Amino acid sequence: MARSDGTATETPDFPAAREHLLTELIRFVAVLRRDGVAVPASGALDAARAIAAVGLTDERRVEAALRASLLSETADGDPFAEAFPTFWHRLRSGLDRIATAHDGPSPESEEGDDGEDRTGDEAGPTAGSDADDAEEPGLLDGAEPPEMDADGDGDPTVRIPTDRRHAAGDRPTGEPREETDGRRYSAVGESALVEADVPAPSSADRAAAERFVDALSSLPGRRRRRSPTGPNVDARGALRASLQTGGAPIDLPRDAPTPSELRCCLLVDVSGSVLDTIDRSALLGLGERVAASARDARVFLFDTDLAEATAAFADPGGEPAEALRAAQIEWGGGTKIGGAFDALRRTAPHAVDRRTVVVVVSDGLDVGDPDLLTDGITWLADRADGVVWLNPLAVSPSFEPASRGMSDAAPYVDGLFGFAEGADLAEAARQIERRGLGGPVGYEHDPRRTGGAPGGGRGRTDDEARTGDAGEEGLV
């Protein structure tokens, strides 16, 4: 972005930078509200206008502008001061990455002064150059990019090594045996009826799913109860008690949020890329447990279409795979996550409300309209009490949410966890039990990423050994 005097601002003016700024601003507002800050309804819009006025060159000016736009009470200054450094770091580092990636010619410089197109070395690397051997951006370590022709057509398949050979339901790919450690991730495919021979969830899978659901059920609700160690003072109780002492409060009773029952909307991506990586028995066990335990549960399956499967999971002790097949529900097709969110919004909007926790099971490999995905995930984040995303790719130590779909959705998710087997659900439950969705939770806080062997043969972490958290020991 050039000024009238010919100098350049620090922040490049192109859509990616603007989108990143708005995304981080929305995330910052959500963090403040989660911490109890009474951000005005128009606070995010006012903050965006304030940043546009002061620019991004001075951190103190940005902080002052956001304080004026987002805070209405003096007591909210501490949560703001605690959250702002993270917001500023994420904002600046993201803009730096965008500026680094935006190394191509600007629209004004695509043509020379004589009106001729720029050619030769300035136009980019030529065929056969060393740039062709560079690592493909946006891929996990060890991934093989798809073969695409000059028009961008081809087989949109990426091979990613997962070290999950034991996961049930792997599809044969007809390739040499030494390459079977990679699953085929394809965004396109043909749906088929659910196989009736998928094994029923094991007792360990059911126990892991039960622990995960119970952890979500422990999220604090809007009601409060008296607690001697509660985080807040019970002002009404203190006022009532002061009537017996002439209006002078002697004791200050405290209260805490009452754990709420779970209202859950489970959205399961059953595309081929997910089914080839995840343990299908554990996946069915999660749906079964959500339907059985939640006070108000809705279960939806999607690939390129969305289908409700609540009734198929509602029979306790039944066989979910057989029930899905009997209901003529298909799986194994392509992936249109945004289309599924849009279909949910149009056909079943009341499945999600302010008391609902939305759980999405998907690898984030979306080939649909990116605007649909952005609109859908922002609708879910704004409407639901919390959004949890379970990604089978996140079990890899080298995972980063860099795919187009996952990178668009990640800023609006309260917790992004790996999920390829029952033990992964138990780890997600452990984090939520201890820190809640408002705390530092997610795949990056999974101690097994660095300290444990991949797959199901992991032992207890040091954290679990210190606290006596043996609930997961029987699940791994």
**Is residue 464 assigned to a domain?**
yes
- The CA–CA distances, whole Å, from 456 to 135, 176, 320, 453 equal 30, 25, 23, 8
CATH code: domain of residue 311: 3.40.50.410
Note the pLDDT tens digit of each residue in 144-157: 455 555 554 554 44
| Structure tokens, 190 | 């043909």
Same domain membership, residue 337 and residue 240? no
Identify the pLDDT of residue 361.
94
Q: Please, which pLDDT band fits residue 375 given cuts at 50, 70 and 90?
A: very high
Of the residues 47, 68, 97, which one is the last residue of a structural domain?
Answer: 97
Question: Helix, strand, coil: what percent of the chain each, to 5?
Answer: 45, 15, 40
Residue 310 has pLDDT above 60, yes or no: yes
Across 88-92, 216-220, 341-345, which has the greatest mean pLDDT?
341-345
Residue 451 has pLDDT above 80, yes or no: no
In the sheet with 263-269, reading across from the earlier edge strand, the strands are: 306-308, 296-302, 263-269, 356-361, 386-391, 415-418
Identify the pLDDT of residue 232.
76
- The CA–CA distances, whole Å, from 142 to 29, 260, 398 equal 37, 43, 9
| Structure tokens, 174 | 């007809």
Identify the pLDDT of residue 193.
47
What does the pLDDT average to over 392-398? 90
Residue 162 has pLDDT above 50, yes or no: no
Same domain membership, residue 324 and residue 237? no
Same domain membership, residue 252 and residue 233? yes
Identify the pLDDT of residue 198.
62
Q: How far apart are CA 83 and CA 35, in angstroms?
A: 9
Note the pLDDT tens digit of each residue in 258-285: 666 778 999 998 887 788 788 888 888 8
- Domain range enclosing 241: 225-257
Residue 420 has pLDDT above 70, yes or no: yes
Q: Please, which pLDDT band fits residue 114 given cuts at 50, 70 and 90?
A: very low
**Is residue 176 assigned to a domain?**
no
Same domain membership, residue 321 and residue 240? no
Same domain membership, residue 333 and residue 242? no
Q: Which residues contact 352 (CB under 8 A, 6 or more apart)?
A: 265, 344, 358, 380, 383, 384
Same domain membership, residue 414 and residue 293? yes
Closest CA to 283 of 301, 303, 262, 296: 301
Identify the pLDDT of residue 421.
92
Of the residues 51, 67, 97, which one is the last residue of a structural domain?
Answer: 97
**Is residue 298 assigned to a domain?**
yes
What does the pLDDT average to over 375-395? 93
**Is residue 362 assigned to a domain?**
yes
Identify the pLDDT of residue 13.
47
Same domain membership, residue 279 and residue 309? yes
The count of C-alpha atoms lying within 13 angstroms of the C-alpha of 237, restricted to the half-sphere facing its C-beta, is 14
Same domain membership, residue 322 and residue 232? no
Q: Please, which pLDDT band fits residue 402 given cuts at 50, 70 and 90?
A: confident
pLDDT > 90 fraction of the chain, expressed in percent and rounded: 21
Residue 474 has pLDDT above 60, yes or no: no
What does the pLDDT average to over 288-301? 85
What does the pLDDT average to over 291-306? 84
Same domain membership, residue 327 and residue 231? no
Residue 197 has pLDDT above 50, yes or no: yes
- The CA–CA distances, whole Å, from 339 to 130, 190, 369, 370, 387 equal 39, 17, 8, 9, 18
**Is residue 161 assigned to a domain?**
no
Of the candidate ranges 62-71, 204-213, 251-260, 394-403, the one whose mean pLDDT is the lowest: 251-260
Q: Is 138 left (phi over 0), alpha (psi -120 to 50) or beta?
A: left
More confident residue, 185 or 287: 287
Residue 433 has pLDDT above 50, yes or no: yes
More confident residue, 17 or 327: 17
More confident residue, 389 or 284: 389
Residue 194 has pLDDT above 60, yes or no: no
More confident residue, 171 or 42: 42
What does the pLDDT average to over 21-47? 87
Q: Please, which pLDDT band fits residue 174 given cuts at 50, 70 and 90?
A: very low
Of the residues 97, 116, 148, which one is the last residue of a structural domain?
Answer: 97
Same domain membership, residue 354 and residue 422? yes
Same domain membership, residue 412 and residue 368? yes
**Is residue 114 assigned to a domain?**
no
| Tally of domains within the chain | 3
**Is residue 23 assigned to a domain?**
yes
What does the pLDDT average to over 191-206? 67
Same domain membership, residue 274 and residue 408? yes
**Is residue 169 assigned to a domain?**
no
Q: How far apart are CA 312 and CA 330, in angstroms?
A: 13
Contact indicator for 205, 287 with CB cutoff of 8 Å: no
